[in-house]
Chain A
């Protein structure tokens, strides 16, 4: 040390902080994302609830023709893939139960398909609470479909909390669309 500082106690070297930016995502996620983007491009009207790379990896858009009653597209658009909830509620409405009866019938008639039920919340609430609320909503649908005879082995639930609004304005007309549980059907098992 310099003469001006006769008693430096320590003089330890400080390494720079340089974390690597990770790019270690498994390739299969990327390829799924690419397939998803391609599917959305081909089928604009089925893309309403499908998420980009930041969303539910693994879940594709609804396939097939709306005119084919055995197709996911028919399930999504003709039967209806979602039920809505009042503010801070996870109890099914009468309208919601009626729709889920139709969903259950379709699932039982189309045994090759499994479903993931996504629970969502509007943006009025904290992130953690909305994750828990979305879990309640997806579970309400899950339980009801099972009560209508769908095998639990074909169903999974996931919460997205307030992470994936479908309507992005900040008023009730959007919020009411975002408080939803969406049944996403896909060929094969749920895993």
Chain B
């Protein structure tokens, strides 16, 4: 079976036949992502040129996905197509910058699609800095099957985002989550995977057992999760490509949950409950070398590795209420990092290593927040009846989480928010959804 790892989408750097070099003097097109309020950068994506008849059905859709990716960041604003003056009919036709300046499009994304008889799709694009009268970077092209057209669109959007912000993108990525249905007191749950934007939902398990909190491996090809398949909470690892699963080989009589991979993709850190006491353990994914990292009578759970694998942030109520602590990946003394008023949980280290996202409960409300890895500069990004379980975008700029509405008809949904606290959005998914985990950027 195919795995995500095998999904390498070729990123082909194209030499341009008629390059206009960016003019240094005009100042490059650039968004500096800061915490301040920014004016979204206006861009135009005319329909991609269909270079073969079979490419017709993809040309418009690809442009739409690119525009949607960029606009959803809150950093860009699309200039609608009905305002466009020019409609490119050839990929290599010269750009009339004045046409795009007239509608104040600062960035222009021009592309073409061709589909061969073999079912292969080729997408190519160029980005132009309109007010510099210049192309921004090299043209790129991606090749793949027609079924992967959305991935190719995300790849284009990632490249544009990256060129203009100077940061890595996050659009060509997936999210694994728990799909929920049925009444609150007998909720049916099953693992599902989707594109980061809610498209292409596919189920990875059936709904015969409660499943909780899936987490991707660093390569995105495996998922750790908790299932009640045996009647008791236990950790499983599932291959995303084959959907084959196996229970992690831990102590038979213990309940295990809250697993996460270490950055090497082999080490797993998790909670184990025995005799009413929950502590943090780590072990090899194959069941070797189990090691207990905490040994207090308090609750220790929700562990998350630092990106370098040297430290673990976790949640403990050793002080009387749940708070966040950091310890060595080998256990030992832990340092408390949360000191605000309230209860803290589900800490997750950002892929950049600088921030830790968490759930905070204070004054009857739940928040998603971030703080520096030493606990400084705590910042709450959201507030609602019940927000929990943050997960980081691959570039560490966006957080996705679960928001559940209150009452008997309460239902969970996935939301995303920028780490500045701006741009709160609901991820469009049919039915209930909880416990998202964002994959790394796909290869």
Q: Is A18 touching B2 in the complex (CB atoms < 8 A)?
A: yes
Within the complex, the shortest CB–CB distance from A167 to chain B, in Å, comes to 8
Residues of A within 8 A of B258 (CB): 128, 131
* A154–B307 CA distance with the chains assembled, in angstroms: 44
A67 at the interface (CB under 8 A from B): no
Q: Is A9 touching B12 in the complex (CB atoms < 8 A)?
A: yes
Residues of B within 8 A of A143 (CB): 276
Residues of B within 8 A of A9 (CB): 12-14
A80 at the interface (CB under 8 A from B): no
Q: Is B385 touching A170 in the complex (CB atoms < 8 A)?
A: yes
Taking a contact as CB atoms closer than 8 A, the residue among A6, A12, A18, A55 that contacts B9 in the complex is A12
Question: 0/1 per residue, B166-210, Cβ < 8 Å to A?
Answer: 000000000000000011111111000100000010111111111
Residues of B within 8 A of A166 (CB): 185
A51-B275 CB under 8 A given contacts A13-B145, A17-B2, A132-B301: no
Taking a contact as CB atoms closer than 8 A, the residue among B152, B210, B213 that contacts A54 in the complex is B210
A128-B271 CB under 8 A given contacts A15-B2, A133-B299, A166-B185: yes
Question: 0/1 per residue, A10-21, Cβ < 8 Å to B?
Answer: 111111111111
Within the complex, the shortest CB–CB distance from A34 to chain B, in Å, comes to 11
A38 at the interface (CB under 8 A from B): no
Name A's B-contacting residues (CB within 8 A): 1-2, 4-25, 29-30, 33, 51-59, 90, 116, 123-129, 131-133, 135-136, 138-140, 142-143, 157-160, 163-170
Name B's A-contacting residues (CB within 8 A): 1-2, 4, 6-15, 17, 51, 91-92, 114, 120, 122, 124, 139, 141-145, 147-148, 151-152, 182-189, 193, 200, 202-210, 212-213, 228-229, 231-233, 240-243, 245, 255, 257-258, 271, 273, 275-278, 299, 301-302, 315, 317, 322, 343, 345-346, 359, 361, 385-386, 388-389, 404, 406-408, 410, 435
A-B contact pairs, 27 of them (CB 8 A): A9-B13, A14-B7, A17-B148, A19-B243, A21-B204, A22-B206, A25-B206, A25-B208, A25-B209, A54-B182, A57-B208, A58-B231, A59-B231, A126-B345, A127-B212, A128-B257, A131-B255, A131-B273, A132-B301, A135-B276, A135-B277, A136-B276, A136-B277, A139-B276, A163-B187, A166-B185, A170-B406
